Amino acid sequence: MKSSGAPGANPAWDPAQYLRFGEERLRPALDLIARIPHPGPRRVVDLGCGAGTALPVLAARFPGAEVTGVDGSAAMLARAAETGFRVVRADIAAWAPEAPADVIFSNAALHWLSGHETLFPRLLGQLAPGGVLAVQMPAMDAAPFRRLQYEVAARGPWAERLRGVRSAPPILAPEAYYDLLAGRAAALDLWLTEYIHVLRGGDAPSPAPHPVVQWAMGSSLRPFLDALDERSRPAFLAAYTEAVRPHYPPRADGAVLLPFRRLFLVARV
């Protein structure tokens, strides 16, 4: 995973925290993999593979293919390497395959990068004939738990320390990706899905017990946490938790629902 280059935008990824909701984070990857239309790729790349949870799924979907995970986080790649697949450490914003890939797959990674106007056509150009670019990205910038990260960061004793810190930048509108790729692809499929993630675990010992805060601590909240020292983090997390809580109340059985909107893109050359 790689971010946009703004202050605080190279998160210190924590595989254990990210995988706290591993099944929920993997579900969109499963849905995307099922929609990849390649009949028999030889080279499959998981770009921004993170902890590598999609690598065995890609291998099962495409038996006989060489499946490689690429990521910029050493901690995430160490976990991904445990799957037994080849992994490569690289800045995914600048990565290029050694030979044209048959499938470039990316699940919840490319939204950390800016410059999609050039990034996506460049990735399409790195495919072999008949190759497929398959991408899933969160479309959550207006969601309360994302918006409140900036609001809480801007107030309180940590405001100066967090000035200029940014999480993943907004992605483009679906029609913008269509305009970028339709003329370059033989086939292009775009769709939006909103998942309702049922989160539990709010009673686990933690400085931020609310499940939605735990979710954010594994991804979009990381740049803010990385910019704070150990003494400031608990107070920041407490303030963020109180801001988030009214927007994601527990249900009668204790579960918390997190509506999560994602953009999917499958382009074949």
Q: By the 8 A CB rule, do 146 and 140 touch? A: yes
Report yes or no: 239 and 213 within 8 Å, Cβ to Cβ: no
Give residue-wise pLDDT tens across range 234-258: 999 999 999 999 999 999 999 999 9
Which residue segments constitute the domains of the chain, with CATH numbers given?
A: 15-268 (3.40.50.150)
Residue 202: the pLDDT is 47
Q: What is the pLDDT of residue 25?
A: 87
Neighbouring residues of 212: CB distance < 8 A, sequence distance ≥ 6: 145, 199, 244, 248, 256, 258
pLDDT tens digits for range 33-87: 999 999 999 999 999 999 999 999 999 999 999 999 999 999 999 999 999 999 9
CA distance 201 to 203: 5
* Highest averaged pLDDT of the listed ranges 7-16, 205-214, 224-233: 224-233
What's the pTM value of the predicted model, to 2 decimals? Answer: 0.90
Mean pLDDT of 206-226: 86
Model confidence over 138-184: pLDDT tens digits?
999 999 999 999 999 999 999 999 999 999 999 999 999 999 999 99
Distance CA 98, CA 177 (A): 26
The percentage of residues in the chain with a pLDDT greater than 70, rounded to a whole number, is 90
What confidence tens digit (pLDDT) does each residue in 105-148 have? 999 999 999 999 999 999 999 999 999 999 999 999 999 999 99
**Residue range 183-213, pLDDT digits in tens:** 999 999 999 999 999 998 644 444 447 999 9
Tell me the C-alpha distance between 175 and 8, whole Å. 30
